Structures are given as C-alpha cells and as structure tokens.
C-alpha cells in the first residue's frame, strides 16, 4: 500500500528546530487547550449541500465516505456507524461472537474497548500492556492463552495513536486460531512497517469523536477485507436488514440502528482529505516536545522502529504526575489523564472474572501518565508555552 502522507518537512505544524528561548513572547499568558477540532469552510459547505439535498440519514454521502475510508486504510470494505463503540459492537457481532465467548483485550484503554465485547455478548479477559508502548504485551497475551482454553479472539487497542504490536499479535492469533478486531479508535493513519492500522485484523474500528485525529462530531467506521464480515456488519447496523437484495424490509437477522448520518459523512469526507496534514502537524509538535523535554525526569512517548505514531495523544509519564498536572492547570495549559482507572478496576467491571487480576504495567501507567496538548491547531507559541510550563515545573522545585 502506498503511503500518501505529504512531506512533513515542508508543510504545517511547528518548526521542530525553533528554540524555546526564542520565545520571549511566551511571557504573555496564553491558554492552551488539550483538544481543538478544526472544521474547515469546505466541511461547512458540504454539510450545507446535504441539508439542501434533504437525504439526511444514510445515503450516497455515507456510501462515498465508506469507499474513501476503505481506500485510505487499504481494505476492501468499510461500514460506517454512529460512533466507535457501535463500530466495535457491530464488528464483533459480524465476526460471529457468541454469548460467553472470551476475548483478550487491553485493561489500559477507554472503557468502550471492553464494553463493546460485553455488549456483543462476550467476556473481556485482560492481558497486561507493555510499559513503554502502553499497548497489549504479546508475552502477556501468551501467558493468558497458556492459562485458559476459552479465548476466541483478541481486541488490541492502538492507544494514543501508536499501533499495538500487530506482527506479534497476528502471529499469536494465527497459531491459536483467534480472530483479531483492531480497536483503532485513536490511531487513524498509524502504520507498522508501512501498513496502516485497519489492514491487520479480521476487522478494525475507528471513532470520529471530536477529539480524535479526524472527526464527524459522533461517528465510527469498521474496515475489513472479509466480505462476510462486511456484509454482516452492514446488515447489523441496519436492523439486520438483507443487504444483498432489493433494499426492502427483509430483516434476516437481529440488528440495531447504528447508522451514520449523511451530515456526519459529509464532515468525515472533508476531514479525511485533511487527515494527512493533521497527522503531520501532530508529529511535528511531538518532535518539538521530544527535543525539549528529553533532559527532564519524565518519559516521553516511544515510537518503536518501523512504527509511525500519529500522536492522538502526546503522553508523558512521571511519578510526579499529579503535581505536574496541577502546575500545568495553574499555567492554563490543558492536560488529560487517559486513563486513571484501568478498566479491570472500574466499578462496572467488578463482576468480570479477571477484574481482580494483577496487571502491574497497566496499573502503574494509570498512576503516572499525563497527556499534553498536541492537536493540529496548536500554534508555535502554544507549543512553547507547554514546554516552558513543563520545564518550569521540574526546574523550579
């Protein structure tokens, strides 16, 4: 698959080489938000066109967005949904998850990753994450597989914009005859060895929530190379309607209304055109931070060889997390803790069989991670403000 990303050196984002100390103008207090979705005039025009056309729910705009998103991911098919959670739920139904099926997933994610497994009738089983990448640790997945015989699939999460170790996880899945549904809700455009996420599993799911690398307001997408999965997912999101026939009211299976609106699709098509530039800007800000925070007592994000991180979040880690968060709040720099409670410790998971498991890497990460602003609308001054505030926290204590 060709990587159509434009040249990061020549376009957009902050200048990674710009010096922090050039920033005399930072003295003026600025507030920097953790997320700032950008909707272009083109998106407004395309939404207007949909409103005038009148086909607001489903329809040609949604079909076009599906085709374009599948092409971007290098997959044969895509099915648009109302959000990322419904994408995961429908994908798992389409894969054929049955009541009580056990599925390995990450405890260090947004709760939707595991909720979708439960909503589709399955049982989430947590394996620990790698302490540097925060994504499923293949060795711990092997440990779980050695302990139990009821696992039917894996839902790896590409957290913060970094793909999970898909080569290793797909190999494990092959060996044990497990399905793989990628939770790519935070990683539009991330790659491993040149392959975009979405191209590894039996299916993959994306979210277009406003803070994500691209948005439709609310929205989601399933991508897959499997015709059977695409067909069942398209049916499931539309009340189990027969998608092969006349488009009439033949409902061959139980399903939901998880459809995307045409308004969301119109926004998504424009956002997809901008995604490469958005990701490039995120990467340039990440470079800028990497260079200027490297000497501080915190860990900056890892980008393993062969991986292309798209920095949905730029997440640092320090034992001093709560104090750093407070300092940045005082300086009007928005931050986020994603996530301070691992899923297996959420009250809603008390009854899940692995809720009491010890998953030390996930538990430590939950106490130490802090995400800094990295959205594509950050100005160079914003990025310098963030760096100065973080540096001041560690150097003036």
Ligand X SMILES: Cc1ncc(COP(=O)(O)O)c(C=O)c1O
Question: Residue 262 interacts with ligand X (CB under 6 A)?
Answer: no
The DSSP bridge partners found for residue 183 are: 157, 205
Q: Give the span between the Cα atoms of 138 and 111, in whole angstroms.
A: 21
Cβ 338 to ligand X shortest distance, Å: 8
Q: Give the span between the Cα atoms of 159 and 76, in whole angstroms.
A: 24
Q: How many CA atoms lie within 13 A of 351 on its CB side?
A: 3
Q: Give the span between the Cα atoms of 157 and 107, in whole angstroms.
A: 10
CA angle in degrees (0–180, nearest 5) for 14-294-9: 30
CA angle in degrees (0–180, nearest 5) for 192-194-200: 55
Cβ 373 to ligand X shortest distance, Å: 17
* Peptide bond between residue 169 and the one before it cis (omega within 30 degrees of 0): no
Our CA dihedral for 132, 310, 263, 110, rounded to 10 degrees, sits at 0
Tell me which residue has its CB nearest to ligand X: 84
Q: Cβ closer to ligand X: 333 or 343?
A: 343
Question: Residue 109 interacts with ligand X (CB under 6 A)?
Answer: yes
Cβ 183 to ligand X shortest distance, Å: 5
Q: Cβ closer to ligand X: 16 or 166?
A: 166
Instruction: Select the residue interacting with ligand X from 102, 157, 190, 387 (CB under 6 A).
Output: 157
Lay out the site mask for ligand X across 170-199 (x = CB under 6 A, - = otherwise): -------------x-xx-------------
Question: Residue 124 interacts with ligand X (CB under 6 A)?
Answer: no
- Tokens found for residue 330: 């005082």
Q: Cβ closer to ligand X: 108 or 179?
A: 108
Q: Give the span between the Cα atoms of 206 and 210, in whole angstroms.
A: 12
Instruction: Select the residue interacting with ligand X from 75, 135, 207, 213 (CB under 6 A).
Output: 207
Size, binding site for ligand X by CB under 6 A: 14
Q: Give the span between the Cα atoms of 281 and 377, in whole angstroms.
A: 8
Distances 150 to 122, 136, 157, 372 between C-alpha atoms, Å:
11, 19, 21, 40
**Among candidates 269, 258, 267, 263, which has minimal Cα distance to 81?**
258
Question: Residue 315 interacts with ligand X (CB under 6 A)?
Answer: no
Question: Residue 108 interacts with ligand X (CB under 6 A)?
Answer: no
Question: Residue 85 interacts with ligand X (CB under 6 A)?
Answer: yes
Select from 80-88, 119-127, 234-242, 370-378 the region that touches ligand X (CB under 6 A).
80-88
Instruction: Select the residue interacting with ligand X from 113, 191, 262, 315 (CB under 6 A).
Output: 113
Is the Cβ–Cβ distance between 138 and 172 less than 8 Å? Answer: yes
Cβ 213 to ligand X shortest distance, Å: 11
Select from 82-90, 167-175, 255-263, 283-291 the region that touches ligand X (CB under 6 A).
82-90
Cβ 39 to ligand X shortest distance, Å: 17
Give the interface with ligand X as residue ranges (CB under 6 A).
Answer: 83-85, 109-110, 112-113, 157, 183, 185-186, 207, 209, 220
């Amino acid at each position: 698959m060709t990587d159509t990303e434009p040249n990061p050196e020549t376009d957009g984002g902050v200048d990674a080489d710009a010096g922090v100390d050039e920033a005399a103008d930072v003295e003026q207090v600025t507030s920097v938000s953790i997320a700032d979705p950008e909707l272009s005039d083109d998106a407004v025009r395309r939404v207007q066109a949909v409103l005038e056309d009148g086909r607001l729910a489903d329809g040609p705009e949604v079909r076009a967005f599906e085709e374009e998103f599948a092409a971007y991911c290098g997959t044969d098919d895509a099915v648009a949904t109302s959000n990322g959670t419904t994408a995961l739920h429908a994908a798992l139904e389409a894969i054929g998850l049955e009541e009580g099926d056990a599925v390995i997933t990450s405890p260090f994610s947004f709760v939707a990753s595991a909720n979708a497994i439960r909503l589709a009738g399955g049982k989430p089983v947590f394996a620990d994450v790698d302490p540097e990448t925060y994504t499923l640790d293949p060795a711990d997945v092997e440990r779980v597989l050695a302990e139990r015989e009821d696992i039917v699939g894996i839902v790896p999460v590409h957290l913060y914009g970094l793909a999970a170790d898909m080569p290793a996880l797909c190999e494990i899945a092959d060996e044990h005859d497990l399905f793989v549904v990628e939770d790519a809700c935070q990683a539009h455009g991330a790659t491993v060895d040149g392959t975009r996420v979405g191209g590894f599993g039996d299916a993959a799911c994306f979210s277009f929530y406003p803070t994500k690398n691209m948005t439709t307001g609310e929205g989601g997408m399933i991508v897959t190379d499997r015709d059977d999965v695409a067909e069942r997912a398209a049916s499931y999101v539309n009340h189990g309607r027969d998608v092969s026939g006349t488009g009439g009211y033949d409902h061959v299976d139980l399903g939901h209304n998880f459809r995307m609106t045409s308004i969301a699709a119109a926004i998504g098509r424009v956002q997809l055109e901008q995604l490469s530039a958005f990701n490039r800007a995120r990467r340039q800000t990440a470079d800028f931070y990497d260079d200027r925070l490297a000497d501080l007592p915190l860990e900056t994000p890892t980008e393993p060889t062969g991986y292309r991180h798209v920095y949905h979040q730029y997440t640092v880690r320090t034992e001093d997390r709560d104090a750093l968060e407070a300092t940045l709040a005082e300086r009007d720099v928005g931050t986020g803790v994603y996530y301070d409670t691992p899923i297996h410790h959420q009250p809603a998971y008390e009854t899940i069989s692995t809720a009491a498991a010890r998953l030390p890497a996930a538990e430590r990460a939950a106490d130490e991670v802090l995400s800094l602003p990295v959205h594509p609308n950050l100005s160079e001054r914003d990025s310098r403000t963030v760096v100065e505030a973080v540096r001041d926290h560690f150097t003036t204590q």
